[in-house]
Amino acid sequence: VIAAAWGVSARRARADDRALAWVLAMGAGSVVALAPVLPALARFVPACPFHALTGVPCPGCGVTRAALAFFRGDLAAAFGWNPLAAAALVAGLAAGALAPVWVALGGPLPALAPVLPVRTRVAIVAALLLNWAYLVWRGV
């Protein structure tokens, strides 16, 4: 009931969910495959213009450093650089790794309402703003 009030419900996985599960797995696998070259690629990522102009980190600042720290195995540093990005990375990789098996077993899948309730949207925006406030406070 609480989840439904937030616009989230659950349904059983169907056979036609397998394709999406495999796509999630391929996406997560691609991120892992790119991990060895990530330090080299990160050198080509331009500096954040928002940070350069204002001296204040933008909401996306620290994502690259969080990813680099994550793939070094330093989870605490990853969450320190950008908590939301690190959490998304962990959740995405876990979802990609588990999705094909989960769907094959017919486990419950989250289903979002076509139009989310206002409270859910406010919560999402609040999470983004809180994450940004943390980045500013930490001086990422």
Does position 6 interact with other proteins (CB under 8 A)? The reply is no
Residue with tokens 């940070």: 51
Shortest CA distance to 28 belongs to which of 116, 111, 117, 97? Answer: 97
73 or 114: CB nearest other proteins: 114
Which of 3, 23, 94, 101 lies at the binding interface for other proteins (CB under 8 A)? 23
Q: Minimal distance in Å, beta carbon 76 to other proteins?
A: 23
* SS3 at position 120: helix
Report d(CA 99, CA 93) in Å as an integer: 10
Shortest CA distance to 82 belongs to which of 64, 99, 100, 62? Answer: 62
Q: Minimal distance in Å, beta carbon 46 to other proteins?
A: 8
Does position 17 interact with other proteins (CB under 8 A)? The reply is yes
Does position 71 interact with other proteins (CB under 8 A)? The reply is no
Q: Say if residues 112 and 7 touch (Cβ distance below 8 Å).
A: yes
Which residues make up the interface to other proteins (CB under 8 A)? 14, 16-17, 19-20, 22-24, 26-27, 29-31, 33-34, 37, 40, 49-50, 52-53, 58, 60, 92, 112, 114-116, 121, 124-125
